[in-house]
Amino acid sequence: MKEYRIIDLSLPIINGGGFARPAKMRYLDHRNRGGALAERLGIDPSEINYRANAMEEFSFLHTHAGTHFDAPYHSLETSQGKPTLTVDQIPLEWCFGPGIWLDLSHKKPGTDITAEDIERELKKIAYTISPEDIVLIKTGAADYYGRESCDNINAGMTREATLWLADKGVRLVGIDACCWDRPPKLQMDSLTKHQRRGRYMEGHRAAAERGMCILEWITNLDALPHYGFTVYAFPVKIERAGGSWVRAVAMVEEKQQFSVKSGL
């Protein structure tokens, strides 16, 4: 019998936090939901046993809050003359598969992760990418998740690094940061600089051109071996959306046990 260890690759969706687009959650607990029900019925709240009322939550939630999935449609309306896929159209077969992770946490925030960086890290772990591998990038930004400006502290994948992975047959990638590219704010700051004009969200666009999907704000990569695990990351099915929340996990095979039945 095979034994597996599950590693949670997901960060929680939190109320507020230092994000560019923080989630707004309204928690109606058992007591205040009982009060709301009494108000609706026109009776005194004391007439309602609040403990018997189910609590619930309302949220105003960006589809890219917390650990989430970017479908190609997020970045491009069409590619090669065809409409790109929205998140509800992503084939489920694309959402799980053999995973590998690469440590790019030595790259400074706001800098480029290049194809050479990827090749160097692959050499360090003596791994050759196969088609359909799920490639996850560690920048270290997830350690600051929820803190002020945590959206602005990752190194980002360039167009050529993204295309390098696409050329190997990779169709799902991930990063432990808010953005596959350099942080949006830093990109905007450098839009006026001649050498970076036309490069806004170049990694996202390159992925979308090739039909690749992206996981953002994943975590816990350190808890995994660099390869030899399976990633599962199924996006919530939101009609016509470019992105949606995902519970991403990795499963690592621990050991193989052989049960021997006694014939006596």
The residue to which tokens 């589809």 are assigned: 63
Q: Minimal CA–CA distance to 218: which of 192, 258, 179?
A: 179
Shortest Cβ 36–Zn ion spacing (Å): 34
In angstroms, the CA 103 to CA 57 distance is 37
For residue 151, state whether it binds Zn ion (rule: CB under 5 A). no
Q: Which listed residue (64, 159, 182, 199) binds Zn ion by CB under 5 A?
A: 64
Six-digit token string for 130: 């196969």
Taking contact as CB under 5 A, which single stretch among the options 67-75, 109-117, 134-142, 185-193 is the one that binds Zn ion? 67-75
For residue 176, state whether it binds Zn ion (rule: CB under 5 A). no
Shortest Cβ 263–Zn ion spacing (Å): 57
Q: Which listed residue (70, 112, 133, 151) binds Zn ion by CB under 5 A?
A: 70
- CA contacts within 13 A on the Cβ side of 58: 3
**What's the Cα-to-Cα distance from 148 to each of 76, 110, 189, rounded to whole Å?**
29, 16, 18
Taking contact as CB under 5 A, which single stretch among the options 12-20, 66-74, 195-203, 222-230 is the one that binds Zn ion? 66-74
Six-digit token string for 54: 């189910």
- Please write down the HEC assignment for all residues of 44-63: CHHHCCHHHCCCEEEEECCC
Q: Which residue is nearest to Zn ion (CB)?
A: 64
Taking contact as CB under 5 A, which single stretch among the options 90-98, 116-124, 216-224, 249-257 is the one that binds Zn ion? 216-224
Site string for Zn ion, 13-52 (x = CB under 5 A): ----------------------------------------
Q: Which listed residue (138, 152, 216, 218) binds Zn ion by CB under 5 A?
A: 216
Residue 184's contacts (CB-CB under 8 Å, 6 or more residues apart) are 20, 151, 178, 201
Shortest Cβ 123–Zn ion spacing (Å): 29
Q: Which residue type occupies 200? A: Y
> Interface residues with Zn ion (CB under 5 A)?
64, 70, 216
